[in-house]
A and B are shown apart, each in its own frame.
Chain A
Amino acid sequence: MRNQSKYLLLVAVLLAVYYVLCGFYLNHLGYYSQEALFYMEKSNIILHGVGDKLKVMGLTAPILPFYSSFIFSAISFVPPPVIASSVCMAILFFLMASTLFKRSNDIFYIFILLIIFLLHPGMLYAATSGKSIGLVLVFFFLFFFNLLKFYRSNTTFHVSIASICLVILIFCDYKFIWLTLFFIPLVLSITVKSLNLGEQESIFRLHQSFNNPSLRRKLINKTFALYIILFILPIACIICYKLLNLTHAQDLEYFNESPYATWTVLADKLSFDSLSTSSVYQIPEISVLLSLKMIVFCPLILVAIFLFRDSTYQILTLLTPFALIEFLHIKYDKVFLPQEFYLMFVVLALLCILYRAQIVKRQGILKLVVGVLTLVQLVTGYIFLKNSSVSEERNFISMIESRAPDTRQDENRALAKYLNNLPKDSHVLIDDAIAYPVVAFTGNVRKLTLPYQEGIFLSAIEAPDKYDNYILLATDKNEVTGFTQLNDKYIPIITRANGGLKFRRVYETDDWVLYKIF
């Protein structure tokens, strides 16, 4: 067993190296995800910034992916978020493979795991894009894994570990808070199942429990207790986090709605623009079809459902992610579902297969089905990513296919290079609500006057000549120009207020104009 663990650890390390190399190659071609750039910028501020960095440190969201990226800040040859995501995916592989080894020694499933982790385009995207998908998948896996273990053992340990994993999952992506919603009927089902009754059929068990005062009291107490054990931690943690937001940013939803705190605000805006300006209506993005889309993307989930067919509440557990994506689609109707919500089905399907495959008598047929569906899944993974509604995901595939350099960040990098070459004592006023890619590429943030330096930044906007020598403004072509005061409307307003101010363009790109202030 110990040798197997060592062997798996070695494979996981090699996998991490493989991901980092892929990330390095993509990075070399110029590929950066918005999320990775956001984390890089915030890390830059924490490490090299001057002023009160507490808010950046505590309220940047999602907080755990940011911290996981921050850990690798000392490494510079690959962007730290890419290393973090690579390591997370390797950890996910290790967890899944070791789970498999604990349950059976079948090398076939390890092989399947390796194929998926090495070749599945979605997995590669998760590992090399520097996004939080890897971390989300790790805790999504652990959450469901512990739930399945709880169903089997009925121990507090597993349900509390599941609860802790849910907390971490929510702090990796706040949208997972809605997962709790779909566990409400499920918990009742679990409790009914756990009551000591002669009747086996769930509906009759429920009938029996409701019609007997003693059983009814027990059912209600246990259901309520299970809710509390499972959800009190996530709810309490979210309340505390919101209170911290309130005390330090005067806004309960700061972490979720401010472009200074999270990259998703701008990403959602771009997604909304893309959806509302698109001439072709996205049929696969409508409700119900979305679930079917997931099944096509991950046909292995059907095998998972087949393996748990005997147990109503376990089937219901597997269906909760479907309910979640349908709900997210309704709640965030102008936002496309990102890849992590697709990949969670892959992880869930693999978990169920690892957990239950050994109970199937006809292993040959099962392996054949799993093998074929894995290959199908690789193809559908590729097709879905290639035709994704999220531009970053599409770009990822097109870059891999063409291997041509990605020029989307060239302007930002060139601008950052120019800023780096400014005289040492010069100061530049920048609003990183939208200019975070520029700040991420800038080596010396001490030159920059940024919003985290609250007092100075606000004063500098009012009287830029007193604090800064340069000011970076967004052009009207910039897609997110509405999220900052420092845009093309700024100069007419400030010159009206202060006629003595003079600005001269010193550097210009499609999205930005850098002015020197006199």
Chain B
Amino acid sequence: MINAGYPFREAVREQEYDPEVLSKIELKFAEQHAALPLRIENGRVVTLMADPSNQLFIDFVRFTYDREPEIIVASDLDIVWMSHKLLGDKYVKSAVYELLNRDPANSAFITFSSGQLIFMFVLLAVVVIGLVTSFKNTSIIINILISVFFLVAILFKMFLALVGSRFELHQAVTRDEVKDLKPDDLPIYTILLPVYREDKLIKKLIWNLQSLDYPREMLDIKLIIEEDDDKTMNAVRNLDFPAIFEVVVVPFHMPKTKPKACNYALHFSRGKYLTIYDAEDIPDTDQLKKVVALFAKLPSNYTCVQCALNYFNRNENFLTRMFTLEYSYWFDYMLPGLDTLDIPIPLGGTSNHFKLDNLVELGAWDPFNVTEDADLGVRAYAKGYKIAIVNSTTFEEANNEPFNWIRQRSRWIKGYMQTYLVHMRNPLALLRKVGWRGFLGFNFFIGATPLTFLVYPFLLGIFVCYLVFDLSTIRTLFPDWVLFMSIFNLMVGNILMIYINMMAVFKRRFYELILFSIANPVYWLMHSVAAFKGLYQLIVKPFYWEKTEHGLSKVNSPTNVVK
């Protein structure tokens, strides 16, 4: 191009621009042509173009501005960056405020409603008054309530796990059904890849997605990069980037969260179906086809299909083993159990496949919620949509570093708290929408999860004091029958939870992990640390997105193969 006489600029980001000029071009058009008129200089329109021979765009400039273009050749990535930064304002505003404007009751923009604050303070006051006036009786009541709640929650989980495990041989989609799909009938599939400072993983991610068994021309892959994420941008620039990948740059706007980025990319998505993968994800190669086959079989009110998630680096250290145990139990037993009993499913962070139309109708993800996936699952259920589970797994990288783990988990638990608060602003309305089963399921899953982790260290502490130091105060405070019940609950609860974890890895044939289930009480203490961090953040910075570092694993991820 330089030889042809076109100036090539690398520092296009510093180019001056005229808002008047920019107002005459639409972002999608600029992005499509990888070209952007910036300003009028010396009677000519200074235009960035990746392909200066694009006559259609040159004609557009001539016709729109009534001037000849002054073409500056730039890399398509820089032009995309500039286009989104300069023209993406209305889209990013829509990504942030769409749900809030359309359905404020379901937005986490307000963390605590007035009613919730009043309820919490009244409850606190009642407890304090109770403790002051009758310390012993109030302590007994609190102990009984917590202990019964724990036991019921755990029995419920055990029941769900058994229901879920019953269908472990059930193939939602068989191999034959996948084979029977005709390539011509496959719809366009959008894959959103929200990445932030994932320069180390970007190559692997692209490699993994290229292995997907789906016609290339029917894939619409959006690599979503934040405006300030030069690391990832440079990593992408240095790659031999396949044409099916399209970069979407999210202009700066608070809150800087993954759901906001996904909402933004939604404006440019073309697919009939849409899914999200994280940077380190290795989906089963036939996953997209399985989802298409399953959607074809399901009634029209099924709007989302969730795949199982698991880890490829499970044997790396204690933390990855525990994480694998937890995920195996969650995705292989709990979610199928919820699915079978028709209870709202809190979606997993990635590998949830949506019908794009329905997703837009639902208001997409809540950018103020840091577990937007769980929130979306409940919102979809409340609107009468259903979620199915498919027999396909995406392998991820388990967090192998304790502080990184706590950061990630604190975000998840904070998100659960947010989701619970949002949907419990009007419990009666929620009950009417989701019915008793959904309401109890929601309370036991979304609500109980943070609560149990917050209370767990206190209960364990009391138990250890009772057992090790044989504190006479505890004996005088709680009568024998309360202690009996509490110890029974603690033991039965712990044993059942450990057993459910064992069942899950047994099902996955990860036999070497089975004994690690016994370490769950220690692992739950880490959850408690994360829960307190999450609670603190919920109060001081509710929309802050704790970034999880990926690519820390030293285990080589296997190439994805059809299981």
* A contacts, CB < 8 Å to B: 52, 54, 58, 153, 155-157, 159-161, 218, 221-222, 224-226, 228-229, 232-233, 236-237, 240, 243-244, 247-248
- Chain B residues contacting A243 (CB-CB under 8 Å) are 491
Contact call B515/A156, Cβ cutoff below 8 A: no
Contact call A236/B503, Cβ cutoff below 8 A: no
Nearest A residue to B165, CB-CB: A157
A228 to chain B, nearest CB (A): 5
B102 to chain A, nearest CB (A): 43
Interface status of B162 (Cβ within 8 A of chain A): yes
> Of A159, A161, A232, A240, which one neighbours B492 at CB under 8 angstroms?
A240
Contact call A244/B514, Cβ cutoff below 8 A: no
Among B132-140, B397-405, B479-487, the one that faces the other chain is B479-487
- Chain A residues contacting B168 (CB-CB under 8 Å) are 155-157
Contact call A54/B503, Cβ cutoff below 8 A: no
- Chain A residues contacting B166 (CB-CB under 8 Å) are 155, 157
Contact call A233/B480, Cβ cutoff below 8 A: no
Docked Cα-Cα span, A244 to B491, in Å, equals 10
- Chain A residues contacting B165 (CB-CB under 8 Å) are 155-157, 160
Decide yes or no: A156 and B506 within 8 Å by CB, A58-B484, A233-B499, A244-B484 being known contacts. yes
> Of B487, B511, B514, which one neighbours A247 at CB under 8 angstroms?
B487
- Chain B residues contacting A160 (CB-CB under 8 Å) are 162, 165, 499, 503
Interface status of B41 (Cβ within 8 A of chain A): no
Contact call A237/B495, Cβ cutoff below 8 A: yes
B509 to chain A, nearest CB (A): 8
- Chain B residues contacting A153 (CB-CB under 8 Å) are 169
Docked Cα-Cα span, A161 to B165, in Å, equals 10
- Chain A residues contacting B481 (CB-CB under 8 Å) are 54
Contact call B491/A224, Cβ cutoff below 8 A: no
> Of A54, A224, A232, which one neighbours B480 at CB under 8 angstroms?
A54
Contact call A232/B484, Cβ cutoff below 8 A: no
Contact call A52/B480, Cβ cutoff below 8 A: yes
- Chain B residues contacting A224 (CB-CB under 8 Å) are 511, 514
- Chain A residues contacting B491 (CB-CB under 8 Å) are 240, 243
Decide yes or no: A244 and B503 within 8 Å by CB, A157-B162, A228-B514, A228-B515 being known contacts. no
Secondary structure class of chain B's binding surface, majority of residues: helix
A226 to chain B, nearest CB (A): 8
Docked Cα-Cα span, A237 to B190, in Å, equals 50
Contact call B484/A221, Cβ cutoff below 8 A: no
The 8 closest A-B pairs by CB, nearest first: A221-B511, A157-B165, A225-B511, A156-B507, A240-B491, A157-B166, A225-B514, A236-B495
Docked Cα-Cα span, A99 to B165, in Å, equals 20
Please tell me the number of chain B residues within 8 Å of chain A, measured between CB atoms: 24
Decide yes or no: A156 and B503 within 8 Å by CB, A221-B511, A228-B514, A240-B491 being known contacts. yes
Interface status of B488 (Cβ within 8 A of chain A): yes
Secondary structure class of chain A's binding surface, majority of residues: helix
Contact call A248/B502, Cβ cutoff below 8 A: no
Nearest B residue to A247, CB-CB: B487
Interface status of B512 (Cβ within 8 A of chain A): yes
Contact call B484/A248, Cβ cutoff below 8 A: yes
B327 to chain A, nearest CB (A): 16
Contact call B512/A232, Cβ cutoff below 8 A: no
User: Which of A218, A224, A225, A247 has most B Cβ within 10 Å?
Assistant: A225
Q: Mark B77-88, 1 if CB is under 8 A from A, else 0.
A: 000000000000
Q: Mark B150-185, 1 if CB is under 8 A from A, else 0.
A: 000000000000100110110000000000000000
A58 to chain B, nearest CB (A): 6
Docked Cα-Cα span, A54 to B484, in Å, equals 8
Docked Cα-Cα span, A226 to B509, in Å, equals 11
Question: What are 9 A-to-B residue pairs whose CB atoms are below 8 Å?
Answer: A52-B480, A58-B484, A156-B504, A229-B503, A232-B502, A233-B495, A240-B491, A243-B491, A248-B484
Docked Cα-Cα span, A229 to B480, in Å, equals 33
User: Which of A52, A153, A218, A232 has most B Cβ within 10 Å?
Assistant: A232
Docked Cα-Cα span, A244 to B481, in Å, equals 12
- Chain B residues contacting A237 (CB-CB under 8 Å) are 495
User: Which of A157, A159, A161, A218 has most B Cβ within 10 Å?
Assistant: A157
- Chain A residues contacting B484 (CB-CB under 8 Å) are 54, 58, 244, 248
B247 to chain A, nearest CB (A): 44
Docked Cα-Cα span, A159 to B514, in Å, equals 15
Nearest A residue to B495, CB-CB: A236
- Chain A residues contacting B162 (CB-CB under 8 Å) are 157, 160-161
Contact call A228/B502, Cβ cutoff below 8 A: yes
Docked Cα-Cα span, A52 to B487, in Å, equals 18
Nearest B residue to A156, CB-CB: B507
Contact call B511/A222, Cβ cutoff below 8 A: yes
- Chain B residues contacting A52 (CB-CB under 8 Å) are 480
Contact call B495/A244, Cβ cutoff below 8 A: no
B88 to chain A, nearest CB (A): 49
Contact call B506/A225, Cβ cutoff below 8 A: yes
Contact call A244/B511, Cβ cutoff below 8 A: no
Contact call B514/A155, Cβ cutoff below 8 A: no
Docked Cα-Cα span, A243 to B495, in Å, equals 14
B463 to chain A, nearest CB (A): 12
A220 to chain B, nearest CB (A): 9
Docked Cα-Cα span, A290 to B503, in Å, equals 38
- Chain A residues contacting B503 (CB-CB under 8 Å) are 156, 160, 229
B126 to chain A, nearest CB (A): 29
Contact call A229/B492, Cβ cutoff below 8 A: no
Decide yes or no: A244 and B480 within 8 Å by CB, A155-B168, A160-B499, A228-B514 being known contacts. no
B503 to chain A, nearest CB (A): 5
A191 to chain B, nearest CB (A): 10
- Chain B residues contacting A236 (CB-CB under 8 Å) are 495, 499
